[in-house]
Amino acid sequence: MHTTALVLFSGGQDSTTCLAHALSRFERVETVGFDYGQRHHVEMTARLTVLAELRQQFPTWAPKLGDDHVLDLAVLGQVSETSLTRDMAFQMESTGLPNTFVPGRNLLFLTLAAALAYRRGLQVIVTGVCETDFSGYPDCRDDTMKAMQLALSLGMDKRYLIDTPLMWVDKAATWQLAHDLGERAHPGGGAQLVDLITEHTHTCYAGDRTHRHAWGYGCGVCPACELRAKGHTVYRGTPIST
């Protein structure tokens, strides 16, 4: 029986939904974030705000929410040039991948998360990777996750479970999932969690916190904003189960 988890938590919509998933399922949940010289420290700030708001607004989850860890991954900036680590505009590359792609970034994240989980005695690693409507990052695919689970379990001689609650879920369903998880925490918690995610999470590649839309803050034109906005519109059009 798995009772403890480490959530890869960036302060975005997806990882916040993953955190809610973990808090509704496990007894002790810790979080880890990676600081890799992002151009937009707005993400690192967002994650602290989201953690504080979750603690305050969800009293049944608060006692389960343990330490938050931040690992310095500035080394990523030394091995890759991307629009996330350098001052360059977002664009699609000839490989068909966006230039936000850092080769193997998730493999590194998971390896470090597993090492941290080992030290902290946490059994499950929860990550918001998704095959459904993301940009086709190969290190987010289900097969990659299964291979990593095996490699980490063998390489650290410890049985890890990599939990990917969003793997086959599109953005509209991610909003709905957040609603359902919040509602399970307490009556009215569904709308509360959706509002919290809208107001405090950050996904925009451009780091824009000045434009407020129905779906939250962002430039409104980068692929991350487009996905978030489109999902929100579909979500709002569907009946909300309570």
Q: Which residues bind Zn ion (CB under 5 A)?
A: 204, 206, 218-219, 222, 225
Do the bridges between strand 124-126 and strand 65-72 make them parallel or antiparallel, or are there none, so unpaired?
A: unpaired
Residue 200 CB, shortest distance to Zn ion, in Å, is 16
Residue in the structure block whose two tokens are 């969003």: 166
From CA 120, how far away is CA 72, in angstroms rounded? 18
Which DSSP symbol is given to 233? H
Q: In this structure, are residues 50 and 14 in contact, taking their beta carbons and an 8 Å threshold?
A: no
Nearer to Zn ion, 120 or 230 (CB): 230
Residue 87 CB, shortest distance to Zn ion, in Å, is 16
Nearer to Zn ion, 192 or 198 (CB): 198
Residue 4 CB, shortest distance to Zn ion, in Å, is 35
Q: In this structure, are residues 133 and 117 in contact, taking their beta carbons and an 8 Å threshold?
A: no
**How does DSSP assign 166-203, residue by residue?**
TTT--HHHHHHHHHHHHHHHSTTHHHHHHHHHHHH---
Nearer to Zn ion, 33 or 218 (CB): 218
Nearer to Zn ion, 4 or 15 (CB): 15
Residue 216 CB, shortest distance to Zn ion, in Å, is 10
User: Is residue 224 packed enough to be buried (19+ CB in 10 Å), middle (13-18) or exposed (0-12)?
Assistant: buried
Residue 12 CB, shortest distance to Zn ion, in Å, is 12
Nearer to Zn ion, 77 or 223 (CB): 223
First to last CA, the chain: 28
